[in-house]
Amino acid sequence: MNDTLVLTPERILEVTEDVLRRYGLAKATVVDVARALDVSHGSVYRHFPSKASLREAVAKRWLDRVNAPLQQIAEGVGPAPAKLERWLRTMIAIKHKKVADDPEMFETYLTLAQEACKVVRAHKEGLIDQVAQILSEGVKQGAFQVADTKATARALFEATSRFHHPAHAEEWKDPQLATRIDVLLALLLRGVEARKR
């Protein structure tokens, strides 16, 4: 064992993902993670005091990766209506890609996310804040007419949840899905646009 190795939380999380992929969520243990790192399990516990905290950190890391491209869009420049549509479509596409590319790991992450309720709530609030930021910009640009940007952002997020919430992943195989998404987004975007006087 190499307990002299300098471990970082990031390295532990990388290896934990590999262990989860290999053994599955039900069978993977902190000892498996330590063995893959060639350290004692005590070395892992110095960074993550419990199996639950390690699993929560893995869920947060996954959600942060989902968040990164969306944050980029929210912080970008350009007309708010185009930015809002791009943000919504990207969020949907990210979730669909994760299911299509690696359904087993998606199930693992879904279970981890359900366990880490605090992490998921913070992630969801962060996404809603991004939408509120875009809506605020749209109001300033005169493109959107919205009285309460935070409440409207939450409504947009929830109205599209069927297309991005993992609980609906089985429905994403519908051949009419792209059309249904187009229709809903057109309706939602019309709903927030500023009225011509």
**Residue 143, domain CATH:** 1.10.357.10
Q: Cα separation of 69 and 191, whole Å?
A: 25
Quote the number of domains for the chain: 2
Look at the chain and count its residues: 197
For residue range 21-60, list pLDDT tens digits in order: 888 888 889 999 999 999 998 999 999 999 889 988 988 8
* Whether residues 27 and 60 fall in one domain: no
Containing structural domain, residue 41: 9-49
For residue range 170-190, list pLDDT tens digits in order: 899 999 999 999 999 999 999
Contact at 8 Å (CB) between 129 and 69?
no
Q: What is the average pLDDT across 114-140?
A: 92
* Whether residues 79 and 26 fall in one domain: no
pLDDT attached to residue 177: 96
Q: Cα separation of 106 and 17, whole Å?
A: 12
* Whether residues 27 and 121 fall in one domain: no
User: Would you place residue 75 in the very low, low, confident or very high pLDDT band (cuts 50, 70, 90)?
Assistant: very high
Q: What is the average pLDDT across 137-160?
A: 97
Comparison of pLDDT for 155 and 99, the residue scoring more: 155
Q: What is the 3-state secondary structure of 144-178?
A: ECCCCHHHHHHHHHHHCHHHCCHHHHHHHHCCCHH
Produce one character per residue of 76-103: b if its CB has 16 or more CB atoms within 10 Å, e if not: eeeebbebbbbbbbebbebbbebbeeee
Q: What is the average pLDDT across 76-86?
A: 97
* Whether residues 128 and 177 fall in one domain: yes
Residue 193's SS3 state is strand
Contact at 8 Å (CB) between 127 and 157?
yes
* Whether residues 15 and 95 fall in one domain: no
The pLDDT mean for the chain works out to: 91
Instruction: Check pLDDT > 70 for residue 197.
Output: no
* Whether residues 24 and 112 fall in one domain: no
Instruction: Check pLDDT > 90 for residue 130.
Output: yes
> How does DSSP assign 13-61, residue by residue?
HHHHHHHHHHH-TTT--HHHHHHHHTS-HHHHHHHSSSHHHHHHHHHHH
Whole-structure pTM value: 0.85
179: exposed, middle or buried (Cβ count in 10 Å: 0-12, 13-18, 19+): exposed
* Whether residues 37 and 56 fall in one domain: no
**Does any domain span residue 2?**
no
